[in-house]
């Protein structure tokens, strides 16, 4: 097949061909996902996509199909929708995760974007989809794409499934772009320094000095760790480096895990159980930071900032402070930009 010359008009190109203007580099920021709305059917559609992923739920497919479709998707959408209602960005009619991820991409584009580098963003579940945004980058002439999963600590249930989706899309392309995947950055000095700086700034604005600070990470079934998932080790190293950076003793900065789902054993210690235990032992003032989340979302704003706050205070705690994620703050953007600049080495002089 003879391809049309680069100057050929787009209207005369066969369907599926890259644009005449190519040679650009695409950067695609990827986060977990978001429902399109908080109503039952929007939540059901989102939860079905998320919980149907075999990377997320490793239960045998036949058993899980019945559990998911006959039980979970019957009752959970309404419950989850009510939670999202508490944090929904009503001005934009979207979840905070979508608002913040868009802002991160916009800020990155302002820093490194231009005629040769195009920055975009996508969600692994929900919209905008990875398939849609990869196609958009290719349509804009990107024949090299850097995918950046916004998960500091690697897990097959987060980082790997984002990569899976990228590769699934590549399989459908006749003319594939070259693709790089940014690695996890759980021990990157820029990330640790940004976390420490953010924590200092947030705690300086709090009305109290915490007795204990919890570093709460999204949970993972323990059996995944037993099979070789490095997530727990990555979380532990982030916590240790953060503790060293802040000069805190081991009993002042604790590691916990949140958001467990179902009856199986998850990584411990559990965040909610730890808060109850601390309160009952007389620890009155607690702060919680969520280093595993690049952007605030339902799990940080509602679960930590509302549910866990109530759990702690109703069990005897006196004061509770949630430290926001890095989000699109200058410190947060410095981390993302440092990662992208490093991973684009050899592709672009930036």
Specify if 206 maps to a domain.
Answer: yes
* Total domains in the fold of the chain: 1
**Which pair of structure tokens corresponds to residue 272?**
């909610």
92 pLDDT tier (thresholds 50, 70, 90): very high
Specify if 78 maps to a domain.
Answer: no
Specify if 51 maps to a domain.
Answer: no
**pLDDT tens digits, 282-319:** 999 999 999 999 999 999 999 999 999 999 999 999 99
Average pLDDT, the chain: 94
Specify if 49 maps to a domain.
Answer: no
Q: Is the pLDDT of residue 8 over 50?
A: no
Cis amide bond preceding 269, omega within 30: yes
Q: Is the pLDDT of residue 68 over 90?
A: yes
Q: What is the pLDDT of residue 113?
A: 83
Q: Which of 160, 86, 147 is nearest to 119 (CA)?
A: 147
Q: What is the pLDDT of residue 17?
A: 57
**Which pair of structure tokens corresponds to residue 27?**
């950067």
Q: Among the listed ranges 83-92, 226-235, 255-264, 318-327, which one has the minimum average pLDDT value? A: 255-264
Task: Assign residue 302 the CATH number of its domain.
Answer: 3.40.50.1400
Specify if 48 maps to a domain.
Answer: no
* Cβ–Cβ < 8 Å for 55, 161: yes
Specify if 150 maps to a domain.
Answer: no
Q: What global pTM score does this model have?
A: 0.93
Specify if 106 maps to a domain.
Answer: no
- Domain range for 308 is 189-323
Q: What is the pLDDT of residue 348?
A: 78
Which alpha helices (H) appear in 215-283, and where do they start and end? Answer: 222-226, 231-246, 271-280
Cα–Cα–Cα angle for 315, 320, 324, rounded to 5 degrees = 140
In whole angstroms, give the CA distance from residue 11 to residue 332: 42
Specify if 227 maps to a domain.
Answer: yes
Mean pLDDT for the stretch of residues 139-152: 97
């Amino acid at each position: 097949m003879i391809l049309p010359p680069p100057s050929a008009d787009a209207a005369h190109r066969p369907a599926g061909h890259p644009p005449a203007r190519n040679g650009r580099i695409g950067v695609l920021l990827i986060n977990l996902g978001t429902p399109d709305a908080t109503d039952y059917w929007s939540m059901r559609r989102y939860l079905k996509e998320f919980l149907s992923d075999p990377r997320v739920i490793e239960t045998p497919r036949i058993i899980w199909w019945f559990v998911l479709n006959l039980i979970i998707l019957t009752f959970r959408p309404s419950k989850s929708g009510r939670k999202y209602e508490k944090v929904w960005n009503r001005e934009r009619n979207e979840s905070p995760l979508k608002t913040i991820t868009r802002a991160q991409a916009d800020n990155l584009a302002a820093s490194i974007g231009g005629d040769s580098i195009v920055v975009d963003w996508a969600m692994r579940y929900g919209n905008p989809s990875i398939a849609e945004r990869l196609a958009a980058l290719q349509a804009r002439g990107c024949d090299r794409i850097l995918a950046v999963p916004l998960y500091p600590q690697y897990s097959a249930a987060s980082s790997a499934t984002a990569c899976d989706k990228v590769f699934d899309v590549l399989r459908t392309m006749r003319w594939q772009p070259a693709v790089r995947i940014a690695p996890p950055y759980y021990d990157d000095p820029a990330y640790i320094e940004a976390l420490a700086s953010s924590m200092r700034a947030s705690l300086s604005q709090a009305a109290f000095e915490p007795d204990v600070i919890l570093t709460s990470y999204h949970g993972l079934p323990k059996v995944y760790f037993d099979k070789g998932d490095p997530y727990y080790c990555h979380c532990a190293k982030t916590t240790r480096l953060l503790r060293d950076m802040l000069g805190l003793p081991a009993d002042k900065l604790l590691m916990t895990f949140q958001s467990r789902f179902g009856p199986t054993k998850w990584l411990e210690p559990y965040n909610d159980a730890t808060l109850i235990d601390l309160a009952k032992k007389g620890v009155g003032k607690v702060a919680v930071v969520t280093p595993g989340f690049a952007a605030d979302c339902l799990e940080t704003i509602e679960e930590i900032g509302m549910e866990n706050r109530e759990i702690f205070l109703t069990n005897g705690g006196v004061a509770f402070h949630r430290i926001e994620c890095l989000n699109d703050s200058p410190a947060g953007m410095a981390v993302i930009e440092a990662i992208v600049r490093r991973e684009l080495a050899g592709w672009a002089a930036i």
